[in-house]
Structure formats: structure tokens, C-alpha cells
Structure 1
Amino acid sequence: MNVLLVGNGAREHAIAWKLSQSPMVGLLFVAPGNAGTYSVARNVPIGADDIPALLDFACDNAIDLTVVGPEAPLAEGIVDAFTSAGLLAFGPTKDAARIESSKAFAKSLMADCAVPTAMSDTFTDFEGARAHLDTCPIPIVVKADGLAAGKGVTVAQTREQAYTAIRESMLERQFGAAGDTVVIEECLEGQEVSVFAFVDGAYVSPMVAACDYKRVGDGDTGPNTGGMGSFSPPLPQHWNAAIESQVRSAIMEPVTQGLVNMGCPYRGLLYLGMMLTTDGPRVVEFNCRLGDPETQVILPRLETDLAQVLLATARGELEGMKIEWDSRACVGVVAASGGYPASYTTGYAISGIDAVDQDAIVFHAGTSLADDATVTAGGRVLTVAALGDTLEQARATAYDNIKRITFKDGFYRNDIAAL
């Protein structure tokens, strides 16, 4: 079948890399793609948010399945548009994608479904939010309601940081309309785990989990980023059959059934960010797509044909499919541009990609081709991932290989999967 993959990050490179291994896939297009997807697919110069152009391309090129990587086009209704045109697309509808595109919606849904999550309040006016903060224990979490590219969450360690967060979101509008509403919630303590399941309505597939590192600096210091690295699976005490069963019965199945009851059944990949607290799993957030950087350590472990899984999910035929995962560990380390997540310069030549070992995988994120050279084109530039019989072995391989890749002002954390 002909497949169109929408997006241009390391998540999309990882998806394209996996899809390219499937005998089910004929032509594979990525829009707009990056320097990495260029090697496994045909890049198409159409932005991920240009839904009319993507739809025209799919119609003109006999696309059998469109796979949507990023959250923004899902939130804008790309799956609705493709479905209305009689085309098959992997991902939730606009209404179902609200589980990520509106934190207030997600909180309301969880309340209706009695799903365990952090206590919270939602505000649309600055003075009300500020007055509420005066009554809150510190630390406290402030979240912009809408999509903010992973930068709309502040874990405030002081009341002044919390005031600054609501001012920047609601008055200075640093996140645009996404920050006009804020959710203020208790700060949960424990181990954070990312959990992923394919969902085709009411059916939730067996789950896979990973742990990621959101802060920019070693020792979890500095501002939040889109993610500086990850590993899968989590340690046994943080992810096992008993925890998976509890997460399924208390969180994933009630939420998916809640969406069915609302008339917007979820089809796609459902991503649960949860905290393992002393009172059990608590929801931190839901996302309506695969994670980044988690995808880069999950898909190397997937033994089932990804194209087969995506097609069955989109068709609502997932139940009964056996999805198998490699038991080995996978570690991914992100190399970023100097200055990220604040301002940074792009266009620097990247060297050393060809020097990595065969047992390491380089997933491109913010890269592009310029005069046949690969150059930086974003904040997070690439991820180096590696499998290993143990977490320590996978970590050693990932770090040994990322050291071989250099570009001006590039940096990475040194403590990914250092447990």
C-alpha cells in the first residue's frame, strides 16, 4: 500500500524507519520530512499543518493510509477531513484529540470517568487564577490549556514562579490562544512513566512503557523541553504486569469508554503520562499521538509489523491482533542546538553520522539537507538510540555513538538512563 506520513521530527523518522521495513508498504511519502526520512522515504514539501494540500496529495497519489505524527494537525481535524474524503487515516478525530489539545477537557473527562489524577482547578481570568494561587501549597503546577509544543507546563517551586507562569500565559500570551485558559494542579511526587496503547474505539491494546527526561540539564535541572532522552522499558518496580493491569482497568479503559459514550470514539495511539505515587498511578497528562523522544526507544523494540498495526487500528480491527515487543532495553539520547529550549542558531553542518556503529540508530529531528550536507534546522537535532541486553549496555552504546556526532554548539545530557 502507498503510505503518507505527516510530520518532520525524530518521531516521524522513527515511524518512517519502521514502516520502511514492512512488506506491506509500497511507496512511502513523508510530508515534509527531514534529512533522515529522505533516506528511507520520499520527502514531500508540504507542511504538516497544511491539511488541504495534504489531502490533495493523498488523492493525487493513491494513498491507502495516512499516518499523522504530530498533535497540531490532529487537533485541527486532519483525520476528519481525510475521512470525509473517503480516505483512511491513523489518528483520532478532532473531538477525540481534545484529550491533548485541551487540558481542561481532559480533566473534565477524567472526573466524569473517576480516573485518578492530580487535583486541579481551571481558570479563564488572570485575577481568579492569581487569587487561587495564594491558597495553594508549593510546589504547584501551572499548565496552559492548549497545545504549546511541550513548553506550556511550569512546575513552580515558589509562589513567584507560579505568578510568573500565569502572567506569561494569560496576560503576555506567550502561547497565544493556547494559554488564555490555565489549569492549576497539585504537584504529584513519584516516578513518572509514559504509557502507550493502540486504541480502535473501546479496545485498548497491550501497553508498552518508557521513561523520558524533560528538563534540559543533567540532574533534571533547567527549563522543561520537548524531551532530552528516554529509555524503555522502565525498571521492573515502575512497570510490571500488576501496574499494567491497574493502569488498564483504572485509567485507559474508563477514558476510552468515556470518549465512546461522548460520541467521539478514540482511534489511534493513546499516550498516558502518569506518576507512580504512594497512592498508586495518577494521570499527569494524555497525548493523542506517539511521544518524542519515547517513540525512538519504543519502535526499535516493536517486533510486530507496524504497518499492519496502524492499518488495523484505523479500520477498527485491532482486537485480537498480537502485538509483540523485544524484551531488550533501548536507550535514546537527544543532541540539541546550543541555547535550546530558548533561542538558538541553525544551519550548522553535522558531522559523524556515518561513523556510528550498526547497532546504533540515528533518528533525525531538526535537520535538513543543504548542498548535499546535513545541517541543523531545529532545537532538538537528532536522537541516537541503541538496544542492549541490559539497560547499562544500551546506554553505553548510545553514548559511545552520540559522541561521534558533532555540530557547532551542540550538547546533550550525560545522565539519560543513569540509574
Structure 2
Amino acid sequence: MTNSEKTNVLLLGNGGREHAIAWKLGQSPNLDKLFIAPGNAGTAALGTNVQISLEDPIKLLEYAQNQAIGLTVVGPEAPLALGVVNIFRDAGLAIFGPTKEAAMLETSKAYAKEVMVASGVPTAKYQVFTEYETAGDAISEWDFPLVIKVDGLAAGKGVIICESKEETLATLKEIFIDQKFGGAGQKVLIEEFLTGQEISAFSFVDGENISPVIGATDYKRAYDGDKGPNTGGMGSYSPPKVWNNDIENTIIKNVFEPVIGYMSSIGNPYTGVLYAGLIVTSDGIKVLEFNCRFGDPETQVLLPRMETDLLSVMQHTAMSGISGIDIKWDPRPCVGLVVASNGYPASYSVGKKINGLGRTDTLVNVFHAGTSLSGDEILTSGGRVLAVTAMSDSFENARELIYKNVEQIEFEGMVYRKDIGTGL
């Protein structure tokens, strides 16, 4: 298939990340029809939402075959863990994302650590446990604070920082005895707590070739001043405060190249986008985690900066390879603010009518996450509801734009942090 032919695309997911991907794909002259499964109120304006569960890869495959889909794009991690990429590839369909085996870099934190050690990638010291008693006995060997991580997928909630022995034991009990995380918590990592500036680095990978990395920083805590529980992310900005050519080259040489080379050498070549969660410490750059898809909310501030045709890049990544592809980024900064439902990340109400979406100005993007359509009304349907993003000539101007425009939007129980993008 040549890139001059128009392509039908099936995009899997229903979050803010997927609305941003749909928005960017919609700018491609190569796009014919866009289908989003299951999508949200934002994606409904850009293509056709399809009510098929992401947990039913066979039904997704049948739909793709019936609609002559030329490329399927996987947004979230859950379908990757179910092997949707393997199923599509076995049927001869092009799909953007890693196989189930390669996606273990995200779906098993213990496996990711094994790969890092085997490929010489710098990371925090760690131990893996499968029982409450042995994990509890090992605490005396660790300094506080320490980090507890469940091995499997936990929607961004499976990393807990513990300040004391008592807190660590209580956390281990929740995981092993109370089974708070179900099967995801059958293995647990105890890990050294690292301090420094956290950054998210992303690269397109075709199994062998790696695109230059692009960076963002997100705000994980729920409340102003980085207080409160960890969330999936309450805001983000790009580029990170600590970002230059030296850091980019170090990340490629010390993280992406060794890991991608190792995965290929063991017969599990990695394709798609690889996301490294990194921390810049006094002892150099270390890897906190890998994710096997675009970040959320980082995608909402990265894709506005992308000047190259996203569909073309994804097609090359999934099909013909990215060697020689030049991906260009706007140097201007982009800032994004997540608007959430009161109570997130714990319990919250849904079904609240959202007003004022038409009142925001054209200098900002409003990406939908937890939204749904009810007739001609847009209702809340999740914890993270919207992301308001702006790109400008300075972080300060971008920040002013998002906070001026978020005031136009209203729904019952609407909350957001007031300190996103300060001090940059």
C-alpha cells in the first residue's frame, strides 16, 4: 500500500489520548474514514464511534475486516495485554502496537526489570516477592521511603510510596491478603525510592529503528502542590524543563537502543510507540517504568507539537519501517490541564451535563476523556473528563490560555489543579 492511497483507520480506546490521536489523524490527507472503538463524545465529531468492547479482540478483527480497515491503532494498554496485535497480524491486518509478548515491558513490571538488567539499562534497585510473609521480612533491608509496585496492570494506581515499616506492611497486606489489585498483585516489587526530575520520553519503533525521542512531563498527584493520591495524570507539559540534545542522546543510547536491541535478540521485536518513564537523578538518568503506548495526558500536549503526518508515521512504523522518516516537532511549548470529576481518583459521580464547550477560543484544544453523548447533550462518564491544552511562544502564555478558557467550561463537581505549568 502506498501512502498516496487513502486509508480507513480503526482507533481503539475512549480516553483523552484517543481523542488527541483521532484529532491528529484527521489532519492527514491520507485518511479516508476513521472509526473509534468505543470512542467518546469528542471522537464522535471526528469519525464513527463503534460500540465494540476492547476486551473482545475477535469482534474487533471481524469489524476491521468488514470495514476494509487499512490500519488499526491501539490506544490503551488493555487490548495489548489481550494480544490484539497478534490476532490482527495473524489475520494479515496492519496494526500499530507491540505484540502481547513485547508488551510485557508494560504488563509485567518484574519482566521489565529483567529486561533492563539483561540489557544494562540503569534503573532503581529492586526485589520481587510473591508472598506477604517474605516481602514483610525483607523490609528491614530497605531504607525509607521505599516504593511498592504491583507487577501487573493497575490503571496507573499500582505504585505506592511508603514512608515507614507500618505503612509498607499495610500496603503489602492490601495487595497480598486483601487482593486489592486482583491478579495484578500476585507479584510485588519493592524498589528503591529515587529523587529527581521525572520525564516521559516517547519514540516510534519499527522493531529495529528508533525515531528521535520527544519528551513531556506530567503531574501525577491529585491536588495542588503535588499533594494527594497518585492519579493517571492531572496535567502535563512539553518539552520537559530538563530537556536538551545531550539528554535526548543519552536516552536513546542508554535506554531505547539497548532495550529494543535486546527484545529483537530474544525474538520479541518491539513495534509501535515506546514510552519510558524516566527520572533525572544526581547519578544520571534511570528508568522508572516502560509503557507500550502513548501516555495520557502527555499525548494531549505532544501531538499539537507534531508537524509530521501522524498517519504516515504510524503506517511506516507498523508496515514498511521508519528508517529515513524525518519526524518534525514545533519547538514551542504546550501545556495541558486535566479537568476531573470531584472525588477522582477514588469514587465520583457521572452523568453530569457539561456546559460551555463551545465558548472556548480557537487557541486552545479541548480533548474529551470521560464524556458521552446523550441526545445533543455531552455528559461526564469518567474520573478524568477533559484536557484543555494550549501551545504558545512561552509556557507562561500557554498556561494563561488554558486557565482563561477552562473558566468557560462548567459541570457539577468539576475540579482541576490550579498550579499546572507554574514556574517553567
Note whether the superposition's TM-score is higher than 0.5.
yes
Native 8 Å contact 1:116 1:282 kept in 2? yes
Q: Give the corresponding residue for 2:175.
A: 169
Q: Give the corresponding residue for 1:153.
A: 159
Q: Give the corresponding residue for 2:350.
A: 346
Q: Give the corresponding residue for 1:411.
A: 415
Distance in structure 1 (CA, Å) of the matches to 2:170 and 2:310? 43
Native 8 Å contact 1:201 1:316 kept in 2? no
TM-score with structure 1 setting the length: 0.99
Q: Pick from 247, 250, 257 the counterpart of residue 251 of structure 2.
A: 247
Q: Is it true that 1:118 corresponds to 2:121 in the alignment?
A: no
Distance in structure 2 (CA, Å) of the matches to 1:231 and 1:117? 24
| 1:381-411 Cα distance to aligned partner (Å, 9 max, x none) | 0100000100111111111111211111110
Distance in structure 1 (CA, Å) of the matches to 2:283 and 2:328? 30
Letter in 1 for 2:122: P
Q: Pick from 259, 263, 267 the counterpart of residue 267 of structure 2.
A: 263
Q: CA deviation at 1:316?
A: 4.2
Matches within 5 A, 1:196-211: 196-211=202-217
Distance in structure 1 (CA, Å) of the matches to 2:407 and 2:169? 40
Distance in structure 2 (CA, Å) of the matches to 1:312 and 1:270? 15
Q: Give the corresponding residue for 2:279.
A: 275
| 1:30-69 Cα distance to aligned partner (Å, 9 max, x none) | 0000000001111001122221111110011100000000
Q: CA deviation at 1:134?
A: 2.5
Q: Pick from 140, 145, 150 the counterpart of residue 139 of structure 1.
A: 145
Q: Pick from 188, 192, 197 the counterpart of residue 186 of structure 1.
A: 192
| 1:142-200 Cα distance to aligned partner (Å, 9 max, x none) | 00100000001101122222222221112111111001100110001000000000001
Matches within 5 A, 1:289-368: 289-368=293-372
Q: Is it true that 1:399 corresponds to 2:403 in the alignment?
A: yes
Corresponding residue SS for 2:32? coil
Q: CA deviation at 1:355?
A: 0.5
TM-score with structure 2 setting the length: 0.97
Q: Give the corresponding residue for 1:16.
A: 22
Distance in structure 2 (CA, Å) of the matches to 1:294 and 1:206? 17
Q: CA deviation at 1:135?
A: 2.1
Corresponding residue SS for 1:59? helix
Unaligned runs of 5+ in 2: 1-6
Superposition RMSD in Å: 0.7
Native 8 Å contact 2:110 2:151 kept in 1? yes
| 1:185-220 Cα distance to aligned partner (Å, 9 max, x none) | 000100000000000112110110000000101011
Unaligned runs of 5+ in 1: none
Distance in structure 2 (CA, Å) of the matches to 1:117 and 1:88? 34
Q: Give the corresponding residue for 2:4.
A: none
Q: Pick from 49, 69, 73 the counterpart of residue 55 of structure 2.
A: 49
Percent identity between the aligned chains? 53
- Count matched residues: 417
Distance in structure 2 (CA, Å) of the matches to 1:409 and 1:212? 23
Native 8 Å contact 2:277 2:288 kept in 1? yes
| 1:267-317 Cα distance to aligned partner (Å, 9 max, x none) | 000000000000110000000000000000000000000000000000141
Corresponding residue SS for 1:62? coil
Corresponding residue SS for 2:278? strand
Distance in structure 1 (CA, Å) of the matches to 2:14 and 2:168? 33
Distance in structure 1 (CA, Å) of the matches to 2:320 and 2:55? 25
Distance in structure 2 (CA, Å) of the matches to 1:110 and 1:100? 12
| 1:108-137 Cα distance to aligned partner (Å, 9 max, x none) | 000001110000001111111111123210
Change (3 A) 1:126 1:316: farther
Question: After TM superposition, where is structure 1 displaced by more than 3 Å over at least 4 residues in a row?
Answer: none
Distance in structure 1 (CA, Å) of the matches to 2:154 and 2:415? 23
